[in-house]
Every structure is written in C-alpha cells, then in structure tokens.
Chains A and B, each alone.
Chain A
Amino acid sequence: MMKPWSNDLLVVEDLDKTFTLHLHGGLRLPVVHGVGFAVRRGECVVLGGPSGVGKSSILKIVFGAYRPDAGRILLADGDGFLDIAAASPREVIRARRHIMGYVSQFLRVIPRVAALDIVAAAAREAGLEAEAARGRAVSLLTRLNLPERLWPLPPATFSGGEQQRVNLARGFAGDHALLILDEPTASLDAENRNAVVELIAERRAGGAGFLAIFHDEDVRARLADRLIDVTAFSAHEAA
C-alpha cells in the first residue's frame, strides 16, 4: 500500500470496478482491477490505452461519479487526505467545489442559458463574487478563442468545438488544485488545441495537478509528465 507524500494531490489505490446490469439478468461487466497511481502538485498524469479499456471510467471513479467496488481514492484536503470512495456525498460535494474539478468529454447543457453565464456560474460556485466571476468567465472564453458574439448565446446550437471550449472554460473557472480532463481537445482544431495546452501548462506551472486523457499525440507529448497505460489494470475478461 502506497503512503501518500505531502506533495501528492491524489493517490489511487487498488481500485476495482465492475458494472452489474440488473436489467440483463445481472450480467457483470468488469472494467478495471487493482488501479493504483498518484498525481502530484504541478504534474500532469495522462491515462493511456486503447479505446474501451476503462480510462474514462477511472476518471469518473476519481471524481465520484462512479462508485468503485473496492479501493481508495485519497484526495489531498488541507493537511490530510479525503477518501472519495468512502466519503459522504456532502464531503464529495465540498471536495468538488474547492479541490477537484472535472471537464467531461461533452458539454451537458442546460437549455437557454448563455455561454458566459454557464462559465460565470461555475466561478461563483467556486466562491467568487458575481463581478469577479463574470470577469473570469470573460477572460477564459477569450483565452479559449470563443468568439464574443457567441457569449450571450446558449451553447445548444454551437459546434462541437465551440461547446467543448465552453465546457473547458467552465472546468477552469474555479481554482481547483486537481483538474480531471476527459479528452478535452478531441473536437478542437490546432489553434484552439494550442490555447488549451497553454492554459493547462500555465495552471500546472502554478501548482495545479492534472489527471487527463489526451487523444492527440502532440498534446500528450507537450503536457504529459507521466503516462499510465491503463491496459495494465484492465479487467475485461476474455469471452
């Protein structure tokens, strides 16, 4: 069992996950087994492996969106560590507000809410006052090259790339120590990918830690401090 170092933001130990499909006669789908790794401050850890191996699932388990069957997810919390796997919903909510953020692969939108408001709301959620939140939203959307004319519009009609930039801005709106990113640049062109990479690099330089899945080799090369091949943890049974 790994002992967490003071520089560790996240220590994952012995995670197991199996889906049980009760609607299909209790069919069991093992996903991962014995997952273990750590993410330190100022470090970008990338999960690699073929599609379907369980990378996204691990991210979701760390964030608390999936329930692991076993294992610990130790998140640096003040002077100690909080085990997300055993934490109460309340503790996880608090952790998400102040410590760890998540950028999903696709933006799940609330209809009819403007892009700027979505990002500003995330900033307020993280503790900023209304004015400051709005300011941060403006600066993030600017950095991510989202055209200003789109800011007052709801993202439902945006292109995939535009939606993803809103999603990213929302994810970066707080001051989270750990950011979990699931294919953040998948639908972006080179220029916008670059903007994202710079944003991540900047935050990393400021001490934030990243746990990410990058599809693009180039991005991976520029950002990954360590690459973890999830195939090692794969629990998919042979048919």
Chain B
Amino acid sequence: MSAALLVAGGICKRYGAIQACRDISFEIEEGEALAIVGESGSGKTTLLNLIAGLTAPDAGEVRYRLRDGAVRDLSSLSEAERRALMRTDWGFVHQDAARGLRMNVSAGGNIGERLMALGDRHYGRIRAAAARWLERVEIPADRLDDAPWTYSGGMRQRLQIARNLVTSPRLVFMDEPTGGLDVSVQARLLDLIRGLIAEMGLAVVLVTHDLAVARLLSNRILVMKGGEVIESGLTDRVLDDPQTPYAQLLVSSVLAV
C-alpha cells in the first residue's frame, strides 16, 4: 500500500436495480485533496459514504492505514473501532452543518466534545483549545459560549470544520461543504478550507457538483456519471483539457460570470 492513506479497490454498490457505484478504484495519499464531481445521481455521495465506512460495499474493499501503520479493511473494523476512527483520525463535514453539530450545545462544547471523548478532563484546557480553534476558523471569540442555532450558515459551517479538526485528523471527508451557502460566504469559507488543508497537511475527499470548488480545493479529480468514473487525473488538466465526451459536456456547461 506504500504511501497511500486510503485505497479503494473495485467498489460496487447497488440499490435494487440501480448500480450506484461500479467497480471504482482509487488511492489517496497523505496531504492530497481529491474531488469527486458529478451531477445528481452520479453516485458521488454513495461513493463518499462507502469510503467513509458509513455503508458497506457489495463488492470490493476500502483499506485505510491507521496512525500506527497498520492497514485495515474498513469492513473488518468493529463498530467501536469505526466510531473511534470517526472521532479521531477522520473528519466528516456535512453539507448541512446541523447534521454535523450539536445545535443546542455551545461552540466550546461542540469543539471540545472530541477532546472529552478522548478522556480530556480539564475544563480550562478544553475551553482554551476550543477558543484557539474558534479563532482559527475566524469566528469571533465572544461566540464561544453561544450555541450554533444562533449562528449564521457560514459560521455554522466553520464551527463544524473546527469540531472536526480539533483532533488533527489525517483524512477529512467533505460533502458539498459550501453548498447552500450564500455566494459571498462561500468564497471566504473556501479560502479557509484551502488554508487549513495546506497548513495541516490534510488528505481530503471532497464531493461537489461545483467545478469551481473542485478546482480551488483539489489537486486530483474523479468525474462520475451513472456510478462510474468517466475521467480522472490532475484537476486542472481534466478541467482545462477534458478528454471524454461527458467531461467535456460538464466543463462546457458551467456558466462563467
């Protein structure tokens, strides 16, 4: 498996008559950002859920290299191990921040939860760590004790990111992280994400339908349609010089401002 962090091999998933993913294989190394793009029904979200261990594939395997160097097939992980991984070495940023946050718990509590789950029992230290992260995601410090239901959409998303990154995960899954946000808010958030990816050397798997977001955040891209990978490669190469008919269609359909 060499330097790869996560290897997906021949993944298949069907829902009844629909083949949501057909024989998909790829690798991610530490510090790489991979975008999975496609239109509705392409299977990109299913693929994300499969590699994040949220559903099991019908065929194929997903293998992950843990921090201690051991390589594990995700399907062989126990529920406890998988959940522990989700809380430490992985992050998952949902399109809807409310799914990835405790809306009634203060920002500090939200960010500190992973630390408390790992056994941190010092209120002062947990609070200080949460405050540092709030600053890092550019949320005003005086909002530390506010619950996210009082936050704007962009701030909620930042909080969700902080909550995920507090344990310095090596791999972060993102599902349309800026989807549904106002355009003006998206730009700053994308820059924040880009900066954090670079600073923390995160590996990222990003699902998006927005090619501009893919270009901005990723260096490699998979174009999906009908459960298959139509084209893949360097992000700017695929977007500047698409080789396949579908990729050309996708790129040419994007409106420029």
Asked if residues A113 and B187 are in contact (CB atoms below 8 Å), the reply is yes
Q: Is A110 an interface residue (CB 8 A)?
A: yes
* A113 cross-chain contacts in B, Cβ below 8 A: 187-188, 191
Bound CA–CA A111/B194 (angstroms): 13
- Output the least CB separation between B35 and chain A (Å): 12
* One of A64-72, A137-145, A176-184 at the interface: A64-72
- Is the contact region of chain B dominated by helix, strand, or loop, or is it mixed? helix
Bound CA–CA A121/B193 (angstroms): 13
* Contacting residues of chain B (210-257) with chain A, CB-CB under 8 angstroms: 216, 219-220, 233-234, 236-237, 240-241, 243-245, 248-249, 252
* Contact with A66, one of B29, B195, B216, B241 (Cβ below 8 angstroms): B241
Asked if residues B187 and A112 are in contact (CB atoms below 8 Å), the reply is yes
* Contact with B234, one of A20, A21, A89, A111 (Cβ below 8 angstroms): A89
Asked if residues B241 and A65 are in contact (CB atoms below 8 Å), the reply is yes
- Output the least CB separation between B246 and chain A (Å): 8
Asked if residues B248 and A22 are in contact (CB atoms below 8 Å), the reply is yes
Asked if residues B219 and A67 are in contact (CB atoms below 8 Å), the reply is no
Chain A residues within 8 Å of chain B by Cβ, number:
22
- When each residue 81-104 of chain A gets 1 if its CB lies under 8 Å from chain B and 0 otherwise, what string results? 000000001101100000000000
User: Are A67 and B241 CB-contacts (below 8 A) given A113-B187, A125-B198?
Assistant: yes
Asked if residues B240 and A60 are in contact (CB atoms below 8 Å), the reply is yes
* Contact with B233, one of A22, A60, A89 (Cβ below 8 angstroms): A89
User: Are A121 and B184 CB-contacts (below 8 A) given A66-B241, A89-B219?
Assistant: no
User: Are A90 and B241 CB-contacts (below 8 A) given A23-B248, A110-B216, A112-B191?
Assistant: no
Asked if residues B248 and A92 are in contact (CB atoms below 8 Å), the reply is no
Q: Is A215 an interface residue (CB 8 A)?
A: no
User: Are A22 and B244 CB-contacts (below 8 A) given A64-B237, A93-B219, A110-B216?
Assistant: yes
Closest to B188 in A: A112
Q: Is A124 an interface residue (CB 8 A)?
A: yes
* B181 cross-chain contacts in A, Cβ below 8 A: none
User: Are A121 and B240 CB-contacts (below 8 A) given A110-B216, A112-B188?
Assistant: no
Bound CA–CA A20/B248 (angstroms): 10
* A111 cross-chain contacts in B, Cβ below 8 A: 187
- Output the least CB separation between B233 and chain A (Å): 5
* Contact with A21, one of B195, B236, B248 (Cβ below 8 angstroms): B248
Asked if residues B249 and A65 are in contact (CB atoms below 8 Å), the reply is no
* Contact with A110, one of B191, B220, B241 (Cβ below 8 angstroms): B191
* B188 cross-chain contacts in A, Cβ below 8 A: 112-113
Chain B residues within 8 Å of chain A by Cβ, number:
25
Asked if residues A65 and B240 are in contact (CB atoms below 8 Å), the reply is yes
Q: Is B190 an interface residue (CB 8 A)?
A: yes
* Contact with A65, one of B187, B220, B236 (Cβ below 8 angstroms): B236
Asked if residues B244 and A110 are in contact (CB atoms below 8 Å), the reply is no
* B29 cross-chain contacts in A, Cβ below 8 A: 90
* Contacting residues of chain A (116-132) with chain B, CB-CB under 8 angstroms: 117, 121, 124-125
Asked if residues A67 and B248 are in contact (CB atoms below 8 Å), the reply is no
- When each residue 1-26 of chain A gets 1 if its CB lies under 8 Å from chain B and 0 otherwise, what string results? 00000000000000000011111000
Bound CA–CA A235/B78 (angstroms): 59
* Contact with A93, one of B234, B243, B248 (Cβ below 8 angstroms): B234
Asked if residues B187 and A92 are in contact (CB atoms below 8 Å), the reply is no
Asked if residues B198 and A110 are in contact (CB atoms below 8 Å), the reply is no
Q: Is B32 an interface residue (CB 8 A)?
A: yes
Bound CA–CA A113/B187 (angstroms): 8
- Output the least CB separation between B210 and chain A (Å): 13
* Contact with B187, one of A21, A22, A90, A110 (Cβ below 8 angstroms): A110
* B252 cross-chain contacts in A, Cβ below 8 A: 23
Most buried by B among A19, A22, A23, A60: A22
* A110 cross-chain contacts in B, Cβ below 8 A: 187, 190-191, 194, 216
Asked if residues A112 and B184 are in contact (CB atoms below 8 Å), the reply is yes
Most buried by B among A19, A21, A112: A112
- When each residue 34-67 of chain A gets 1 if its CB lies under 8 Å from chain B and 0 otherwise, what string results? 0000000000000000000000000010001111
A sample of 20 more A-B contacts (CB under 8 A), given A65-B237, A112-B184, is A22-B244, A22-B248, A22-B249, A23-B248, A60-B240, A64-B236, A64-B237, A65-B236, A66-B237, A67-B237, A67-B243, A89-B233, A89-B237, A90-B29, A90-B220, A92-B234, A93-B220, A112-B191, A121-B198, A124-B198
